[in-house]
Amino acid sequence: MLNSSCRGVRMANDFSRYLAENSRFQSYLYSYPHKTAYRHFAEKIDLATLWQAERRNALFLYTHIPFCELKCAYCNLFTISKPQAELVERYLVQLSNEAEVLREVLGTFHFANYAVGGGTPSILSLPQLDSLFDIYTNVMGVDLQAVPGSFEVSPDTLDAEKIRYLAGRGIQRLSIGIQSFIEAEARAMGRVQPQAETDALLDGIANAGFPVFNLDLIYGIAGQTEESWLASLRRAVSFAPDELFLYPLYVRPLTALHRKTVALATHADIRRRLYALACDFLQARGYVQDSMRLFRRVASAPARSTEYSCQEDGMIGLGVNARSYTRDVHYSTEYAVAKANVAAIVQQYVDKPRAAFAQADYGIRLSEDDRRRRYLIKSILKAQGLERTHYREVFGTDAGSDFPDLDTLLQLGLAQQEGNFLRLTAEGMAHSDLIGHWFISPEVGHKMQEYVPR
């Protein structure tokens, strides 16, 4: 029997009260369980045994490059700025060693999709990018021209030559973080982005023929106004990106922004208004919403179809702090934000003996309840919604009985039933972070609360 609602026994109207009383900006659940719920396993897990029991014919390969030119004031991603050249070289060698071990661990396998993220993968030089892609083709057997892949870049690490190189490598989706087109706003967050240079790069990307060009912006930056936000949006759409990711600013412990607490009170609420403005602005310009953060241009060619289904299929993480997912076990290396701690974990990774890559020692075992919650969270927060028959096929039960709080979403007009799909309404989508947070299990929620940022 499932634990049907999170955080212990609750009254039916708890969820309504929770929705009414809390800020809609809680936390971003881009994966579940959150990495702050990971811990050292009591015993190391043998990866060959773990993966033998998994479907391995449509895996996702994620590679983490934990380096940036500059560390942005808001960023709590696992990355360090200005790495020593020698460290980057050693990191690439170690990626290759890890990939070789993983190839043995997996036996037979096929990657349906891949992503290179960070940090900022475009910090790598062209010869270093060659080394990285050699791992893909020679060790992991990924045909870069056939398998769809995504690659993250930042303006301060990109130039025309790298754009051409990445397009030539068959990258399907190029994603660039801009955050704000207003130079003063970008500078306030530690980013140097002169307008003329940024424009030239974005023109270069738009013309390079990537099937999907994504651009990230942030709203809720101190000093940002409705006018300056609209100005950023106007500039963004002038480059006709296929996708726009709009992130509400979250101020995280141990980031530079967190130390400037004075800024918080003023921008906390403007995010609601800026979100609403963006939805109207983009809808009027032919963008449809795929989630609270992702807007897609309707006229864009559909992304190459992929066999990968995020709720069910496995993910192989390559590199430090890259997560790997099987059905029951999620694992990675440790996570940190403070520079000295990130640097120490990166160093441990490059010093790791080869054999250690065949074992997992840090992560989380998902209970049956958490597998269902993961499915729910990963489907309901997207425009496509929760497909009830598919949920039943996977778990053998009805999502509505497992999660009675779904009824509350329907009653409050935050979701609607469309045929076989339960979908958030526009108002529900605006509350995605709050809704997602509610469905975290008591066990995972407890671990997240216990986690001490480091």
Ligand X SMILES: C[S@@+](CC[C@H](N)C(=O)[O-])C[C@H]1O[C@@H](n2cnc3c(N)ncnc32)[C@H](O)[C@@H]1O
Residue ranges binding ligand SF4 (CB under 6 A): 68, 71-72, 75, 77, 79, 118-120, 154, 177
From ligand SF4, ligand X, none, interface partner of 247 (C-beta below 5 to 8 A by class): ligand X
77 binding ligand X? (CB under 6 A): yes
Nearest Cα to Cα of residue 142 among 109, 106, 102, 98: 109
From ligand X, ligand SF4, none, interface partner of 117 (C-beta below 5 to 8 A by class): ligand X
Distance (Å, whole) CA 70 – CA 68: 5
Task: Report the residue number, 3 or 63, with the smaller CB distance to ligand SF4.
Answer: 63
Give me the sheet containing 415-418, strands edge to edge: 386-387, 421-424, 415-418
Distance (Å, whole) CA 78 – CA 322: 9
Q: Give 217's strand partners.
A: 179, 246
From ligand X, ligand SF4, none, interface partner of 390 (C-beta below 5 to 8 A by class): none
Task: Report the residue number, 155 or 428, with the smaller CB distance to ligand SF4.
Answer: 155
Nearest Cα to Cα of residue 173 among 125, 225, 224, 244: 244
80 binding ligand X? (CB under 6 A): no
177 binding ligand X? (CB under 6 A): yes
- Under a CB-based contact definition with an 8 Å cutoff, are residues 375 and 391 in contact? yes
Residue 309 CB, shortest distance to ligand SF4, in Å, is: 27
Distance (Å, whole) CA 412 – CA 431: 12
Query: CB under 6 A: which stretch of 108-116, 247-255, 271-279, 388-396 binds ligand X?
Result: 247-255
Task: Report the residue number, 118 or 385, with the smaller CB distance to ligand X.
Answer: 118
From ligand SF4, ligand X, none, interface partner of 236 (C-beta below 5 to 8 A by class): none
Among 10, 39, 252, 258, binds ligand X (CB under 6 A): 252
Q: Which residues contact 175 (CB under 8 A, 6 or more apart)?
A: 150, 151, 152, 153, 214, 215, 216, 243, 245
Q: Give exposure, 129-139, as e/b (b: 16+ Cβ within 10 Å).
A: beebbebbeeb
Task: Report the residue number, 289 or 321, with the smaller CB distance to ligand SF4.
Answer: 321
- Under a CB-based contact definition with an 8 Å cutoff, are residues 279 and 426 in contact? yes
Q: How many other β-carbons are positioned within 10 Å of the β-carbon of residue 152?
A: 20
Among 15, 60, 74, 111, binds ligand X (CB under 6 A): 74
Nearest Cα to Cα of residue 343 among 158, 119, 63: 119
Cis bond upstream, residue 33 (ω within 30): yes
From ligand SF4, ligand X, none, interface partner of 327 (C-beta below 5 to 8 A by class): none
Query: CB under 6 A: which stretch of 67-75, 84-92, 195-203, 341-349 binds ligand X?
Result: 67-75
Query: CB under 6 A: which stretch of 105-113, 117-125, 197-205, 299-307 binds ligand X?
Result: 117-125
Task: Report the residue number, 243 or 369, with the smaller CB distance to ligand SF4.
Answer: 243
Distance (Å, whole) CA 195 – CA 232: 12
The single-letter DSSP state of residue 37 is G
From ligand X, ligand SF4, none, interface partner of 71 (C-beta below 5 to 8 A by class): ligand SF4
Task: Report the residue number, 19 or 178, with the smaller CB distance to ligand SF4.
Answer: 178
Task: Report the residue number, 201 or 434, with the smaller CB distance to ligand SF4.
Answer: 201
Task: Report the residue number, 77 or 422, with the smaller CB distance to ligand SF4.
Answer: 77
Residue 123 CB, shortest distance to ligand SF4, in Å, is: 9
Query: CB under 6 A: which stretch of 11-19, 91-99, 113-121, 369-377 binds ligand X?
Result: 113-121
Count of positions on this chain that bind ligand X (CB under 6 A) = 18
118 binding ligand X? (CB under 6 A): yes
Distance (Å, whole) CA 436 – CA 431: 9
Distance (Å, whole) CA 422 – CA 75: 33
Residues that bind ligand X (CB under 6 A): 68, 74-77, 117-118, 120, 152, 154, 177, 179, 216, 218, 247, 249-250, 252
